[in-house]
């Protein structure tokens, strides 16, 4: 199993870390990290700081189940008040369910190890590939951006929403690598899967609503 070895295992020690094949506490998966994943983790560990630790713990919560659930409820309520229908509820529910199911299915099939326990700054269990936080954040924030974009008379506003959604998803994914609970390829796969889910759901639901009359409450 891949393990981090160095002359000092202190969290902020700028030791010359390296990832080898020595024994180390990991999960019980079968898919090992590849070279680039290992090198990126070494760089991340070398550049950790107390301030970044705190910031990344906050950022990663934007990809957590409870935060996404609360945001989804808020968007659904605002949408219903403005447009008088439950499209947002349907889109977000299908998006979240599809992202969760597909991510966990792939996790079960691949069964990849997470980085060693000694490098994790937060708790995480289960298979690493793909990153669930990255998948769900890309899917949910992307779906919210699509819902916003289809009702904007100015397409530039829609593009801005999509860019902002992408930036949030990227930040969440990077936080998972920084916190030592995912390899970089886990996160990239999560982004790709989340974007695929958004494209699949939005093509079937959002355009239908965009062509329908909009009731504006006065």
| pLDDT digits 0-9 by tens, 5-39 | 433 344 444 333 444 443 344 444 444 556 888 88
**Tokens linked to 116:** 């060693």
Per-residue pLDDT at 32: 52
**Tokens linked to 132:** 């669930």
Please say if the pLDDT value at position 212 is more than 90: no
Whether 202 is covered by a domain: the verdict is: yes
- The C-alpha atoms of residue 91 and residue 166 are separated, in whole angstroms, by 18
- The C-alpha atoms of residue 86 and residue 192 are separated, in whole angstroms, by 27
Whether 174 is covered by a domain: the verdict is: yes
Q: What is the pLDDT of residues 129-168, one digit of tens each?
A: 999 999 999 999 999 988 887 777 777 777 888 889 989 9
- The C-alpha atoms of residue 89 and residue 79 are separated, in whole angstroms, by 9
User: Is-above-0.85 flag for pTM?
Assistant: no
Whether 140 is covered by a domain: the verdict is: yes
- Choose among 57, 61, 37: nearest CA to 49: 57
Whether 67 is covered by a domain: the verdict is: yes
Q: What is the pLDDT of residues 107-118, one digit of tens each?
A: 999 888 888 888
- The C-alpha atoms of residue 158 and residue 150 are separated, in whole angstroms, by 7
Whether 32 is covered by a domain: the verdict is: no
| Lookup result for tokens 């403005």 | 82
- Choose among 45, 50, 2: nearest CA to 26: 2
* Residue 130 DSSP SS3: coil
Residue-number span of the structural domain to which 99 is assigned = 51-210
State the pLDDT confidence band at 46, using cuts at 50, 70 and 90.
confident
- The C-alpha atoms of residue 178 and residue 159 are separated, in whole angstroms, by 28
Whether 91 is covered by a domain: the verdict is: yes
- When divided into structural domains, the chain yields a total of 1
CA dist 216 to 16, 109, 154, 209, 213, Å? 61, 47, 18, 14, 10
Whether 145 is covered by a domain: the verdict is: yes
| Lookup result for tokens 């760089």 | 43
Whether 7 is covered by a domain: the verdict is: no
């Amino acid at each position: 199993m891949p393990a981090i070895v160095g002359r000092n295992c202190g969290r902020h020690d700028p030791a010359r870390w390296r990832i080898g094949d020595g024994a180390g506490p990991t999960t019980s998966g079968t898919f090992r990290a590849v070279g680039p994943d290992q090198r990126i983790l070494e760089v991340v560990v070398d550049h950790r700081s107390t301030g970044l630790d705190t910031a990344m713990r906050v950022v990663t919560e934007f990809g957590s189940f409870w935060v996404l659930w609360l945001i989804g409820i808020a968007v659904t309520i605002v949408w219903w008040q403005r447009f008088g229908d439950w499209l947002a509820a349907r889109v977000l529910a299908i998006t979240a369910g599809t992202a969760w199911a597909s991510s966990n299915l792939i996790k079960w099939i691949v069964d990849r190890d997470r980085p060693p326990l000694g490098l994790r700054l937060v708790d995480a269990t289960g298979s690493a590939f793909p990153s669930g936080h990255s998948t769900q954040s890309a899917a949910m924030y992307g779906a919210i951006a699509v819902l916003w974009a289809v009702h904007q008379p100015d397409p530039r506003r829609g593009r801005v929403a999509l860019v902002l959604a992408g930036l949030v998803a990227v930040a969440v994914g990077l936080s998972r690598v920084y916190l030592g609970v995912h390899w970089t390829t886990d996160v990239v796969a999560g982004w790709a899967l989340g974007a695929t889910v958004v494209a699949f759901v939005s093509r079937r639901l959002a355009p239908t609503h965009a062509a329908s009359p909009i009731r504006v409450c006065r």
